[in-house]
Amino acid sequence: MINQLLMKLGLGDGSLNAEGDTRRKFIRYPGAQADVSVGGSTYSLRDWSLGGISFETLPDARLLVGDSINFTLRFRFPQGVVAVEQQGRVVRTGKRGIAAAFVMPDADARKALERVLDGYHAQNFLQSQVA
């Protein structure tokens, strides 16, 4: 019960200050300062989690639910760029956006995503100290 309460407060998995939805398996983080490259095109990242991504597309993206895609995520931080190559499966399409679930991230991709989380939390902490 305590773990459930901590998870709802965003304290159970290091997700303090994340944009969470208690119905979801993973906490979502904003995609500001990040993009995704798919098939030679680069798109703005809406949000991401340890389970997948949501990104902007052109209306004619021609991706369907169930399609397999390879993509590269690039997260920009003051100390540099963290790039993550990943495979995914399209789980939702819209007029101007796609959501894809990661297909079994390998250990390197998982470590890179954890570095991104560390950078995200550090950036939020620094911004909180300026205000």
Each residue's pLDDT tens digit, 117-126: 998 888 888 8
Name the token pair of 108: 């390197």
Q: 50: which DSSP letter? A: S
Taking the model in full, what pTM does it have?
0.74
| DSSP assigned state of 28 | B
Sequence spans of domains, the chain:
29-130
Neighbours of 5 (CB within 10 A): 10
Query: Distance between CA 120 and CA 76 in Å, rounded?
Result: 10
Residue 15 confidence class, pLDDT cut points 50, 70, 90: very low
**What burial class does residue 97 get, using C-beta atoms within 10 Å of its C-beta: 0-12 exposed, 13-18 middle, 19+ buried?**
middle
- What number is the average pLDDT over the span 29-41? 89
Cα distance between residue 3 and residue 60, in whole Å:
44
Superfamily for 29-130? Answer: predicted glycosyltransferase like domains (2.40.10.220)
CB-side exposure of 70: number of CA atoms within 13 Å? 3
